Chains A and B, each alone.
Chain A
């Protein structure tokens, strides 16, 4: 052995023996997981880029496709609900209203539905190399966020086009809503991706649940249209849905013409509360994920 070799052995002798794999324990485990993911942040960035690059790699239009889908949806809802069903008459700036809701909803739906499959999609890696497995759902959050930013850019351009750009403190509602979507979406992606490894039905179930949820959130109808139908406890329930609050908050930020329209009281406070609950839920979801991930390699 060369002297370099001996040096390596000496250096190793000075290092502590550590357990292979993640550290168990509730608080220490969380710290470990966060540090581990942080140490792999470059990889996380590359996984996000991989997702984005690979998705439209051989198509001529490339990224444009990620815009065309929500735009097509916008046209469908605008024509069907705005024109035919008369939503346009009671809701000012109906196109901006719908696109605002769709942008927020799409971010959440993409994180949850793609995130649910993220571990299974990366089964090859999970089975062969040790990585903090959190990077897979997180990379989905990253690529969904990228698509979101493109849609958001269009939304902002559109608000300028109609002459009502969002300004000042109302943008805080947008940030708060975004935080709520990210925290709840990530938590659900952790929980569901881990559950999906053990029970593949989860992915199919989630598609259906998301479809229901879409209509339980004021994206294509305005609050004033749903408010008379939900009263008392039902209304509390309706407004306990983080996504309902986030979409309302988002509309408060970007749908300037909607200012005079009826809206639930103290959206801001509710958003803050749901954000705090979501953060606790995210921590809980990560702990469940950490527990379940020790058997991922053999279940896949």
Chain B
């Protein structure tokens, strides 16, 4: 793509929310002199700079409260920035919440026209698309029923059908792609892919990280109102997952410091090593051979049994393999000090790619005590005759 155009240009944008704690006149009068005590400033976004090019699909990801939705609303013009500028070109449609603007007392047909008008279609265009919309939603026989009698699935189907028939240059999507049953979801995904090949720009806010790796060609990670990563979805996702892990650990620490004392004070995973069939270090696995995983664990006090396990993720973050000592029917012995545990996986027929290994240690009750995410990685190579996460030798016949 040589000829690109910026669709959205965000310059030094900050957004401050003033959180007032009281709302009625009486409360305001009573607290008039002290009104500043009842105000809280909250910076939802700080100095955001972002250029979005035409035809790209961008995922905005981050933990709850990181400012993703606020950023999307700024782009949509629904809220105005406290400072900085948001500029954009082209026609915009926002899929911010399905069924917003549906009136329960109106029929499906009336609501289609209303909702299409809200999303910017003219009446003539809506009439043109009407059959396609109803067809897409798959609820022909209920189209003249009031939508308050619809099931929630029918409701979102109709809403989504309207939204995807709007002809936007820029589509803003907030957490709405996973609607309906599986066939309908697949239909929605196909539609989104069509949108991409039409050169439309899509900005997606979601917590479903697989969707990001599947759909987006760029992912922006927001945290506390700042952009902390921006680039290939794979890299951004890795960054975000590492942060989530950090949060999990610190939360657990806090729980530990405030909650009941744990039975074992500090069993921890020291290191994870990968070995090949001969016991040497493993970097690159020839699909079908053996992977050994050695985990060094240390406990200051007596650790009464427990469970140790591993899992493997592909580069998109999908778990592709996992096992633990309990699944294998083996209880860990009680131990103090250093111990090394080993897994050995024979005939491991993985597809080509980069695999990361996570190890975890838990009490016998199942409460996790330590986890090392992406503790080790290895590559997998095959003979190049297949794609996918598993490898099996294919044969081909011509009848």
Contact = CB atoms under 8 A, between A and B. Distances in A.
Interface of A: 1-2, 4-10, 12-13, 15-22, 40, 42-43, 46-47, 50, 53-54, 57-58, 124-131, 199-201, 294-295, 297-298
Given A9-B3, A53-B110, A20 B100 contact: no
B143 to A, nearest CB: 16
B254 interface: no
Given A1-B55, A53-B110, 6 more contacts: A1-B197, A4-B199, A8-B200, A13-B3, A21-B77, A297-B73
Interface string B128-151: 000000000000000000100000
B387 interface: no
Contacts of B90: 12, 15
Interface in B1-55: 1, 3-7, 9, 17, 23-25, 28, 54-55
Contacts of A199: 23-25, 28
B113 A6 contact: no
B89 interface: yes
A25 B103 CA distance: 35
Interface string B289-332: 00000000000000000000000000000000000000000000
The 3 closest A-B pairs by CB, nearest first: A5-B199, A13-B5, A21-B77
Given A13-B3, A54-B105, A8 B100 contact: no
Contact of A8 (B94, B101, B123, B198): B198
A125 B101 contact: yes
A296 B94 CA distance: 18
Contact of A4 (B28, B79, B169, B198): B198
B77 A130 contact: yes
Nearest to A58: B105
Interface in B71-91: 73-80, 85-90
26 contacts: A1-B1, A1-B196, A1-B197, A5-B55, A6-B3, A6-B199, A8-B199, A8-B200, A9-B1, A9-B4, A13-B4, A16-B89, A17-B87, A20-B74, A42-B117, A46-B113, A53-B110, A54-B105, A58-B105, A124-B100, A128-B78, A129-B76, A129-B100, A129-B119, A130-B76, A200-B24
A17 B88 contact: yes
A65 B114 CA distance: 25
Contacts of A8: 54-55, 169, 198-200
Contacts of A294: 79-80
Contacts of A127: 78
A199 B90 CA distance: 36
B169 A130 contact: no
Contacts of B94: 128-130
A120 B341 CA distance: 62
Contacts of B119: 129
A58 to B, nearest CB: 7
Nearest to B118: A129
Nearest to B101: A125
A75 to B, nearest CB: 30
A11 to B, nearest CB: 8
A201 B25 contact: yes
Contact of B122 (A21, A42, A128): A42
A50 B106 contact: yes
Nearest to B6: A17
B78 A129 contact: yes
B96 interface: yes
B24 A128 contact: no
B100 A125 contact: yes
Given A42-B122, A125-B101, A294-B79, A9 B114 contact: no
Nearest to B90: A12
Contacts of B100: 124-125, 128-129
B197 A19 contact: no
A12 B118 contact: no
B253 interface: no
B210 interface: no
A9 B74 CA distance: 23
A124 B101 contact: yes
A223 B85 CA distance: 57
Nearest to A5: B199
Contacts of A129: 76, 78, 94, 96, 100-101, 118-119
A2 B122 CA distance: 27
Contacts of B4: 9, 13
B243 interface: no
Contacts of A128: 78, 94, 96-97, 100-101
Contact of B123 (A5, A7, A42, A201): A42
Given A9-B54, A50-B106, A125-B100, A200 B23 contact: yes
Given A1-B197, A10-B3, A42-B117, A53 B54 contact: no
A43 B88 contact: no
A125 to B, nearest CB: 5
A130 B92 CA distance: 9
B289 to A, nearest CB: 41
A43 B75 contact: no
A170 to B, nearest CB: 39
Given A42-B122, A53-B106, A124-B100, A12 B78 contact: no
B117 A46 contact: yes
Interface in B310-363: none
Nearest to B88: A20
A42 B113 CA distance: 10
B70 to A, nearest CB: 9
Nearest to B111: A50
A174 to B, nearest CB: 32
Given A1-B199, A18-B88, A43 B118 contact: yes
A78 B358 CA distance: 85
A21 B85 CA distance: 10
A15 B6 CA distance: 10
Contacts of A58: 105
A46 B101 CA distance: 12
